[in-house]
Amino acid sequence: MDGPLVSRYLPCPNPSIRGVGAPMDGLSALLWTARWCQGTLPCVPYRIDISCPPHDALDHLVQLGALDIEPVNDGLAAIIPDGVTPDAVAGALSVASVAVSPAVGRDNGSVWLLSPRAVRIGSVLVAPPEVAAPPDALRLTDSTAFGTGHHPTTALCVEALEEALTIAVPDRVLDVGTGSGVLALTALMMGVSRAVGLDVDADAVKIAAEHARLNNLADRLQLVLGGPDVVDGAWPLVVANVLAAPLMEMAPVLVRRVGCRGRLILSGIPWSLESEVGQTYRRLGMRHIRSETRAGWTVLVAQASW
Ligand SMILES: C[S@@+](CC[C@H](N)C(=O)[O-])C[C@H]1O[C@@H](n2cnc3c(N)ncnc32)[C@H](O)[C@@H]1O
């Protein structure tokens, strides 16, 4: 058996509340282990390894809500959601015990994968550098920056970008909240000449720059630390995958970055806040084109009425 057997992200419309958002360092792993020693329940998903699993282990792990399952050597590894104890896993599998270790939460702890892996979104293949992939794949390292491509907010944005680019390919794109750089780099790979990526997180800006170099796109991507208020000018295509609250807060500035008849793609909006965010932007002159919701997250596509 090769590759994952089951893989899902947590359909939690607030990734920031999931806790671990980065690969664990030594100290975090130690503290994590200490919590187990004190007998408390896990507050983040965790990894289990089972050697010689029973033939129906996969079914039981799926029933327990495993977030990812992979074959390893003579057994199985899985990521178990917090709230399900290792004893419950051992009981369901009829084994004496399971080996427990920390799991890595990617995309701010909302995507739980046993190992980095490729994901296809529309015509775009996002792949870690160590995984075999065609030459036109977008290569992203396993980093702390949001934007692996596995999260629905990113996927919805990539799809909306692809749709926008089938209508017309603008000469430049503005990516607000660039994270790993995934959206700006996708736009460049799809034929947009230049991109500007903004992020308030200095680490994300550094990681996006590394990704631009890795994909030979550094000369076409300009990265700036800050929000839409730190740049001047207007773009024919603007994409912003940040949460609903910052989207509403930055709305008056963000719309000024959208050029004449320009298109704006907004993502990271919990479905329940779609109408509030949509109304905020409509009041500022953005005409609603379409919305799409996946796993509780909505993407809004709008066009400037000016
Ligand atoms: C959900 S991630 C999106 C990453 C990537 N664009 C994607 O689609 O996967 C949101 C990013 O926006 C950044 N961010 C949050 N508020 C921001 C703001 N006001 N201006 C610019 N970036 C912001 C965060 O640091 C984070 O990297």
Ligand 1 is surrounded, with C-beta below 6 A, by 146-147, 153-154, 157, 176-179, 182-183, 198-201, 204, 227, 241-242, 246, 250, 268
Q: Both 76 and 141 in a single domain?
A: no
Start-to-end Cα distance in the chain: 56
Quote the pLDDT of residue 265: 98
Quote the pLDDT of residue 37: 45
Largest CA distance in the chain: 67
Please identify, among 87, 112, 137, the residue that sits at the C-terminal boundary of a domain: 112
Quote the pLDDT of residue 4: 57
Quote the pLDDT of residue 10: 47
Quote the pLDDT of residue 20: 27
Q: Both 281 and 224 in a single domain?
A: yes
| 99 belongs to a structural domain | yes
Mapped onto helix, strand or coil, the DSSP state of residue 188 is helix
* Closest C-alpha to 192, from 267, 129, 263: 263
Q: Both 76 and 54 in a single domain?
A: yes
Domain residue limits at 171:
119-304
Q: Both 300 and 186 in a single domain?
A: yes
Round to whole Å and give the CA distance between 75 and 16: 33
Give the atom of ligand 1 at the shortest distance from the alpha carbon of 15. 1
Give the atom of ligand 1 at the shortest distance from the alpha carbon of 145. 27
| 1 belongs to a structural domain | no
Please identify, among 112, 139, 173, the residue that sits at the C-terminal boundary of a domain: 112
* Gap from CA of 63 to ligand 1 centroid (Å): 34
Q: Both 26 and 101 in a single domain?
A: yes
| 251 belongs to a structural domain | yes
Quote the pLDDT of residue 13: 43
**How does pLDDT run along the chain (306 residues), one tens digit per residue?**
344 555 554 443 433 323 223 334 455 555 555 555 455 566 889 999 999 899 999 999 999 999 999 999 889 999 999 889 999 999 999 998 899 999 999 998 889 999 999 999 999 999 999 999 999 999 999 999 999 999 999 999 999 999 999 999 999 999 999 999 999 999 999 999 999 999 999 999 999 999 999 999 999 999 999 999 999 999 999 999 999 999 999 999 999 999 999 999 999 999 999 999 999 999 999 999 999 999 999 999 999 999
Give the atom of ligand 1 at the shortest distance from the alpha carbon of 201. 25
Q: Both 280 and 242 in a single domain?
A: yes
Query: What's the total number of domains in the chain?
Result: 2
Residue nearest to atom 11 of ligand 1 (CA): 177
Quote the pLDDT of residue 74: 84
Round to whole Å and give the CA distance between 72 and 58: 13
* Gap from CA of 199 to ligand 1 centroid (Å): 6
Quote the pLDDT of residue 12: 38
Task: Check which CATH number belongs to the domain holding 285 and give it.
Answer: 3.40.50.150
Quote the pLDDT of residue 43: 80
* AA letter at 159: E
